Amino acid sequence: MTTAVIVGAQWGDEGKGKMIDYLAQRADMVVRGQGGNNAGHTVVVGDEKYALHLIPSGVLYEETVNIIGNGVVVDPKGFLQEIDGLKARGVKTDRIFISDRAHLIMPYHRVIDALSEEKRGEKKIGTTKKGIGPCYMDKVERTGIRMTDLLEEDFEALMRARIQDKNEIIEKLYGAEKLNEDLIVEEYLGYVERIRPFVRDTGVMVHQGLLEGKKVLLEGAQGTLLDVDYGTYPYVTSSHPISGGFAIGSGIGPNRIGEVIGIAKAYTTRVGSGPFVTELEDAIGEKIRERGHEYGTTTGRPRRCGWFDAVMVSYSARINGMTSLSLMLLDVLSGFDEIKICTGYAYEDQVIRDFPASLKVLAACRPIYETLPGWHEDLSGIRDYDGLPLNARNYIQKIEKTVGIPVKVVSIGPKRSQTIVIDEIF
């Protein structure tokens, strides 16, 4: 297969950045198709750690073309800061391209993101406050500004009209202070010439690449349970982080998507609000958080931790058409006498095995666990599947059986070398 989609099978932060970087050694192109700089993808090369937010995780290979597709929302300030940060570390940034159809995040998007969260009070989503939701709202409402607009003559007039409209909302709906129109215009006009060289019709580039037999990796951000249709709505992001999202967000036909690789942690984490059936608000959850360094890459917030939820990952497998799973951070689970897998939800007097739409139902669900013996060996230096402790292998097999998808990669550390490939996937 010449294309593979990497999707998050849970609530994000599953280790997608690590897997993209690992697979990108064989890719010609890496393409982002949704989300924006709400993402935080960590790539570790030797002793160097990179946190990528908007720039695709193939950037550390000099030959790989990295594309920010039309479905992505782009904060020019964040983008240029990331470019400068990478350049300062000696990373080449001349193979990065942004779709001319991608939408632009404006300062009012960030401000409205923060104000609407404040207004929600107790019911806040816990967004990253990067302006993602408000930018997608404008896109759908048809008042967004696209990369192609940024390069056109009337960009200033367009910006001024939009800022004036948003200032009305900021002042009248939220009772907050208006934004300084001239300052925003000056800032954004300053980005035009810096951004111009990156902008292309990237859909044509990807299509051409596929015609030439190039290997294309589609890099999902967030995770299936944060999808605006399939996630724990309204505690979701405003895009489609599932495999189908790429048919829209990267400009290639759905029939071009080959492998669908689900990235799942060997346990579960979540940042932000919303129900979490297997959450552990106890010493076990704390131990997982500390062992896994579970603090957000983008916001630094502590991540909520819990056992592996096979109901949720089975749902993800179905929604994405997953062809395999990569099981990440298995090393973090060393040191437990027992490990649990949630195989069903108890709801009133029923057992639910399909992820429910209703958050009221989900919040009332209690996990039905199967308990497996744990292991105490350090996994981080193991390089082949047979070298894993028997109980770790049994745990992997239990996941495969419950989710119904083969685990083809096991990750036992953040580095490229800490990757056990059971069966080649790309």
Residue 353 carries which side chain, given as an amino acid letter?
R
- For the question of residue 103 being annotated catalytic, the response is no
Residue 306 makes contact with Mg ion by CB under 5 A = no
Residue 297 makes contact with Mg ion by CB under 5 A = yes
- For the question of residue 376 being annotated catalytic, the response is no
Joined together, the tokens standing for residue 260 give 């669908």
> What is the smallest separation between the CB atom of 294 and ligand GDP, expressed in angstroms?
8
Stretch that binds Mg ion, among 6-14, 20-28, 51-59, 143-151 (CB under 5 A): 6-14
Residue 132 makes contact with ligand IMO by CB under 6 A = yes
Q: Which is nearer to ligand IMO, 41 or 408 (CB)?
A: 41
Residues engaged in binding ligand GDP (CB under 6 A): 8, 12-18, 40-42, 44, 297, 328-329, 331-332, 411-414
Q: Torsions phi, psi of 205, nearest 5?
A: -60, -45
Q: Which is nearer to ligand GDP, 15 or 274 (CB)?
A: 15
- Give the residue from 6, 205, 10 showing the smallest Cα distance to 95: 205
Residues 38 and 226: beta-carbon distance below 8 Å = no
> What is the smallest separation between the CB atom of 295 and Mg ion, expressed in angstroms?
11
**Number of CB atoms found within 10 A of residue 6's CB:** 27
Residue 133 makes contact with ligand IMO by CB under 6 A = yes
Residue 222 makes contact with ligand IMO by CB under 6 A = yes
For β-strands 199-200 and 96-99, DSSP reports them as parallel
How far is the C-alpha of 169 from the C-alpha of 399, rounded, in Å? 48
Q: Which of Mg ion, ligand IMO, ligand GDP, none does 222 bind, CB closer than 5 to 8 A by kind?
A: ligand IMO
- Give the residue from 334, 317, 338 showing the smallest Cα distance to 399: 317
CA distances from 245 to 24, 26, 71, 236, 418 (A): 20, 23, 8, 15, 30
Q: Which is nearer to ligand IMO, 75 or 210 (CB)?
A: 75
DSSP state of 178: P
Scanning the structure block, which residue is given the tokens 């490990």?
Answer: 339
Q: Which of ligand GDP, Mg ion, ligand IMO, none does 18 bind, CB closer than 5 to 8 A by kind?
A: ligand GDP
> What is the smallest separation between the CB atom of 349 and ligand GDP, expressed in angstroms?
37
Q: Where does this chain bind Mg ion (CB under 5 A)?
A: 13, 40, 297
Catalytic residues: 13, 41
